[in-house]
Structure 1
Amino acid sequence: MRIRPLILTTAMVLLVPLAAQADELDLQPGQWEFTNVTGVEGDTPFPEQTHTSTECITAEDVARGPDFLQVEDNCEVTNMDMTSTTMTYDMVCTEEGMEVDMRAELQFMGDRLEGQMTANLESPMGPLVMRTDITGERIGDCE
């Protein structure tokens, strides 16, 4: 099983909806730094992994609204609920014959955000629960 690509895929899928709905969210356009800390529980626990990335969220991105959402073909988003300060949704992805059920909860605070994502999957090593804590902050204007 490829845990690292799954974690990165999950992190990217979580970040894309931020720009997709930003025109209704308390989220300022600009250069953002995101940090995802992921831990995996199960019979064979994995050490936490931290991934940091930056992304420019422009006013044009924000203006595209829901059309900016790009979910991979192997994933389906359901049960999305959004207010100006929160977003929750469920997502099911199939990767290499495995189904991954995820639940995301995000809170938006203008120039920063916080959230959690929990993923349940059945792997060759048995059931795993993957939890990702997400933080983001606007670090300036887009370059």
Structure 2
Amino acid sequence: MAVTPVLAETPNLKPGLWSYTTTTTLDGPMKLTPKTANNKECLTQQQINKGIDMLDIPEQCAVLKADVFRDSSDFALSCNMQGIKTLFKGNAAFHGEHMNGEMDGEMNTPLGLMVMKMNFVSKRVGECPAS
């Protein structure tokens, strides 16, 4: 069941090469130490114009909520990954050359309820490399 964005505005982001830092924690019957990942990616104006569709949402997920505004977005996803249903809720704030956000997920696993929290910060670090 896909949902159309309530209001789809173009996010306040500048195209270019962006650096992302994501920290993920997992709590529940098994507690994992926080994991931090860094990556860089080119963000084009065409991707920005897609609003919530600029996110790389897995095929096994359905968008339940997608409110995209100039300076922020709120979203919710329901995913079925290998038989484990997960509900994700998140938000992001857009500030031109940087953005930040968070996403929480609850998974009912055979071991019990697991809660995943992801926080991210990103900033524009330059122009995209020439192809």
TM-score by length of 1: 0.77
Deviations, residues 39-60 of structure 1 (Å, cap 9, x unaligned): 0111221100111111101234
How much is the aligned-residue C-alpha RMSD, in angstroms?
1.8
Q: Structure 1 residue 77: deviation in Å?
A: 0.8
Over the matched positions of the two proteins, sequence identity in percent amounts to: 24
Gaps of 5+ in 1: 1-20
TM-score by length of 2: 0.84
CA distance in 1, matches of 2:54, 2:113: 33
Conserved 8 A contact 2:107-2:113: yes
Deviations, residues 81-123 of structure 1 (Å, cap 9, x unaligned): 1210010010011111000100011001000011010000011
From the two aligned structures, give the one with the greater helix fraction: 1
Paired residues, what number?
121
- Asked if 1:35 is matched to 2:17, the reply is no
Runs of 4 or more above 2 Å deviation = 59-63, 65-72
- Asked if 1:55 is matched to 2:41, the reply is yes
From the two aligned structures, give the one with the greater strand fraction: 2
Moved more, 68-77 or 111-120: 68-77
